[in-house]
A = this chain, B = another copy of it.
Amino acid sequence: MKNKRAQSLEDAVKIVKDGATVLIGGFGPPGVPEILIDGICDNKIKNLTIVTNNAGTDRSGVARLMDEGCVSKLICTFPWAKESFVFKELYDAGKLQLEIVPQGTLAERMRTAGAGLGGFLTPTAVGTDLAEGKQIHKVNGTDYILELPLRGDVALIKALKADKRGNLIYNKSARNFNPIMAMAADQTIVEVSEEVEIDELDPEVIITPSVFVDSYFVTGHYEVGKGSKQT
**A interface residues (Cβ-Cβ under 8 A, vs B):** 108, 112, 115-123, 137, 139, 142, 144, 146, 148, 169-172, 202, 204-205
The residue from B144, B169, B170, B205 contacting A118, defined by CB atoms under 8 A apart: B144
* 26 examples of A-B residue contacts, CB within 8 angstroms: A108-B115, A112-B120, A116-B122, A117-B120, A117-B121, A117-B122, A117-B144, A118-B121, A118-B123, A118-B139, A118-B142, A118-B144, A119-B120, A119-B121, A119-B137, A119-B139, A119-B144, A120-B121, A137-B146, A139-B148, A169-B204, A170-B204, A171-B204, A202-B205, A204-B205, A205-B205
Nearest Cβ distance between residue A223 and chain B, in whole angstroms?
19
Residues in chain B near residue A204, CB distance under 8 A: 169-172, 205
Residues in chain B near residue A123, CB distance under 8 A: 116-118
A205, closest chain B residue (CB): B205
Nearest Cβ distance between residue A89 and chain B, in whole angstroms?
35
Nearest Cβ distance between residue A137 and chain B, in whole angstroms?
7
Query: Number of copies of this chain in the oligomer?
Result: 2
A66 to B205, CA, bound (A): 35
Residues in chain B near residue A142, CB distance under 8 A: 118
The residue from B118, B146, B170 contacting A122, defined by CB atoms under 8 A apart: B118
A160, closest chain B residue (CB): B204
Nearest Cβ distance between residue A170 and chain B, in whole angstroms?
8
A112 to B137, CA, bound (A): 15
Residues in chain B near residue A112, CB distance under 8 A: 120
Nearest Cβ distance between residue A118 and chain B, in whole angstroms?
3
A139, closest chain B residue (CB): B118
A sample of 20 more A-B contacts (CB under 8 A), given A117-B121, A117-B123, A118-B142, is: A108-B115, A108-B117, A112-B120, A116-B123, A117-B122, A118-B121, A118-B122, A118-B123, A118-B137, A118-B139, A118-B144, A119-B121, A119-B137, A119-B139, A119-B144, A120-B121, A137-B146, A172-B204, A202-B205, A204-B205
A5 to B72, CA, bound (A): 54
